[in-house]
Amino acid sequence: MTHSIRRITETDAIYFESFMASMFAENLPTLVPRGTTPSPEQVKAYILRHITGNNAVFLAETHNPAMDNNIVGSIALTCFGRPQLDHVAMLGLNVAADFRGQGIGRALLQHALQWAKQSSTIERLELEVIENNASAIHLYEQLGFQREGTKRLAVKKPERYFDMHIYGLVFNKRSFNI
């Protein structure tokens, strides 16, 4: 089955909302649960923030006419919105259960890296990953991300606490020495 990656648009709101709801419905120990389901207006506002400037959401789609929702993955790059931190984007990657292990996460992450490198302001990418998400950690490290720290007992699930690892990738050092 073929997949393509494209930037999110306003018309994706209902499908993106459905995709994200399915991700959180899995109740994976690797995802931090959200408190409430966002309203359609909140989803649209989120999309609007990510179709301009240094923010972006890219979608992976399958081309299967039998599926109601062809979104099978997403990656968000979100800047902090403060002048001192405008060079930093936070990443959030999700892939639908039936499509994991097929290279979609890698393709989305590589697409996001290329987009960020072409940005006039983004110089650093950050992400957080729960300690038990070994496949994601492996992918991030393969693509050059380095573990920069750990938030101990950061996520509380019914069965136990999990540490959250912080990863970073600096790819544009501009005029200063690192």
DSSP structural state of residue 143: T
Reported confidence tier of residue 25, pLDDT bands at 50, 70, 90: confident
Reported confidence tier of residue 178, pLDDT bands at 50, 70, 90: very low
Residue 177 pLDDT > 60: no
pLDDT of residue 12: 92
Amino acid at 160: R
pLDDT of residue 52: 79
Domains detected in the chain: 3-170 (3.40.630.30)
| 98-119 pLDDT tens trace | 999 999 999 999 999 999 999 8
Distance CA 57, CA 9 (A): 9
What is the average per-residue pLDDT within 155-163? Answer: 88
Q: What is the dihedral of CA 104, 107, 112, 113, to 10 degrees?
A: 140
Candidate from 1-5, 7-11, 129-133 with smallest mean pLDDT: 1-5
Which tokens hold the place of 64? 């299967």
| 46-99 pLDDT tens trace | 888 888 778 999 999 998 777 776 999 999 999 988 888 989 999 999 999 999
pLDDT of residue 28: 67
24 sits in the region (left: phi over 0; alpha: psi -120 to 50; else beta) called alpha
| 126-139 pLDDT tens trace | 999 999 999 999 99
